[in-house]
A and B are shown apart, each in its own frame.
Chain A
């Protein structure tokens, strides 16, 4: 038999395995993935990597992925290592096999930690600007990690149909329902993986609590809507205006302005396509946020003013913030509807505030976002 014949046999079995998995027949899926892996291993044995490097790389990734999907994890690990030892392996195959190995190692660590993680961990990849392979400015990453945590908690609150939380952290029950953990990922730009810890084994879900795996998948759907179509797609997922506005602002805090990094990609291990946040998606989200913001002061429609400065202080309960603009402290009111986790990470950072000046020259808040020097207004 030839490479093509073995590979086709593998294709047929893996296609059936995906269909079986979709219909819930996990036992048949496992056995079909197992058959597909065997056929792909036979296929790769017939390939000369020097003369067919791309075919070899694609087949190697496929065989390793099939071993992993058929739960032959130890064999997948050994096979990936053996392929990675080849000097002539194409770069795309090297990257994908390393990613698979990191997934296996993370799962092994998670299993041995005695903590239950729900399916659907997400890998966040930050690229461009100041980011180098395997390294990134600490503040850039810490702020994104905090925002991702906020998005997970807000998603759980939204699914639980709780009123929008205006101040303070998520309640303990929400934190226990879906606590995000941070795992290292393979260097490829700068990457990290977030896994969601579910309730302890044996704990029953309460009737009004969303299943943690639903939190993980809804998190991805919300980000997808915010990134690609904040006007329509996000509205379908999040009909509530206040929640939608909150998710948009948090998603925008994740997106690049262009100088420190140029792209943030979020991929779920559950297989749906990645969500990519770029400067364009940031601009689209800003437009949508500002369309929803109030445009009038005391009945008069006034053109908003753009203020650039450093956010020095925020008092949400007293409804104001202070912005240092060219060594002058400006007092801006009307921030009461802004949320801790949206504005908190911006304190002591350069920001762009859109405000409306009333007849006496006092500013009323409309919108705030990070300004790293590259942000368009």
Chain B
């Protein structure tokens, strides 16, 4: 079976909504999370429209990076953004085009590759969630939660939900609107 290459490095070059600083921080966090359970390269089991396999190559984090991402919650959240964006770029041909602040953090907006947006009228809002420990069943539970959350009306934009489980190397992505209509 063909394996898709999931590139967690240089995200800023392919996702206009990411600054180099944020992209580097996300990559460091992803490497810390992956290194807790795997060695590079890591096979990822991806569910987005269909079941596919991806492979991510990454550098083991040094001690300083590990110390910098000692807070597991922060690392899992940032690492999940990195893996989710790198995956959705391959499986959905979508990239982050913008980032907007919210009261507690920030939301990413994604659109098809090559789009030169002058506004956010047609962009998708991305809901990302990370799990450090967890199997495919946990990913499914979390994905359902994320979809419900996305549908609860935080934005009238169509939303896409993504869940990344680092221990089991699972990534699940769903279009919140489509899933609800099924």
Binding site for B on A (CB under 8 A): 2-4, 7, 11-12, 14-16, 18-19, 22, 36, 40, 47, 52, 54-55, 57-59, 61-62, 65-66, 68-69, 90-92, 95-96, 99-100, 103, 127, 217, 221, 227-229, 232-233, 236, 263, 265, 267-274, 276, 278, 280-281, 284
Contacts and interface: CB of A to CB of B under 8 A. Distances in A.
Nearest to B141: A228
A236 B144 CA distance: 23
Contact of B133 (A65, A236, A269, A284): A236
A3 B118 contact: yes
B120 A58 contact: yes
Contacts of B148: 263, 276, 278
5 contacts: A7-B100, A15-B19, A69-B101, A232-B134, A280-B141
Contacts of A273: 77, 129
Nearest to A11: B99
B104 A270 contact: yes
A362 to B, nearest CB: 37
B101 A36 contact: yes
Contacts of B77: 272-273
Contacts of B53: none
B132 A91 contact: no
B79 interface: no
Given A54-B121, A263-B148, A14 B141 contact: no
A280 B167 CA distance: 22
A55 B21 contact: no
Contacts, number: 136
B19 A12 contact: yes
A92 B153 contact: yes
B118 A4 contact: yes
B19 A221 contact: no
B156 A90 contact: yes
A92 B101 contact: no
A217 B72 CA distance: 11
Given A22-B74, A228-B142, A280-B144, A233 B132 contact: yes
B134 A11 contact: no
B145 A278 contact: yes
Interface in B125-172: 129, 131-135, 138, 141-142, 144-145, 148-149, 152-157, 167
Contacts of B149: 265, 274, 276
Contacts of B119: 3-4, 47, 52, 54-55
A376 to B, nearest CB: 16
B155 A92 contact: yes
A254 B170 CA distance: 29
B17 interface: yes
B181 interface: no
B106 interface: yes
Contact of A103 (B74, B103, B107, B129): B103
B121 A55 contact: yes
Contact of B103 (A57, A99, A263): A99
Contact of B21 (A7, A15, A272): A15
Contacts of B129: 273
Given A54-B120, A232-B135, A281 B102 contact: no
B64 to A, nearest CB: 13
Given A19-B21, A228-B142, A233-B132, A14 B99 contact: yes
Contacts of A100: 103
A18 B154 contact: no
B52 interface: no
B45 interface: no
Given A18-B106, A228-B145, A229-B133, 6 more contacts: A14-B106, A61-B101, A221-B73, A229-B135, A229-B138, A280-B141
Contacts of B141: 228-229, 280-281, 284
B42 interface: no
B138 A62 contact: no
A80 B86 CA distance: 35
A18 B118 CA distance: 25
B154 A96 contact: yes
Interface in B89-122: 98-107, 109, 117-121
B25 interface: yes
B134 A228 contact: yes
Nearest to B140: A280
Given A232-B138, A272-B77, A55 B120 contact: yes
A140 B26 CA distance: 40
A127 to B, nearest CB: 8
A121 B141 CA distance: 25
A344 to B, nearest CB: 29
A93 to B, nearest CB: 9
B179 interface: no
Contacts of A284: 141
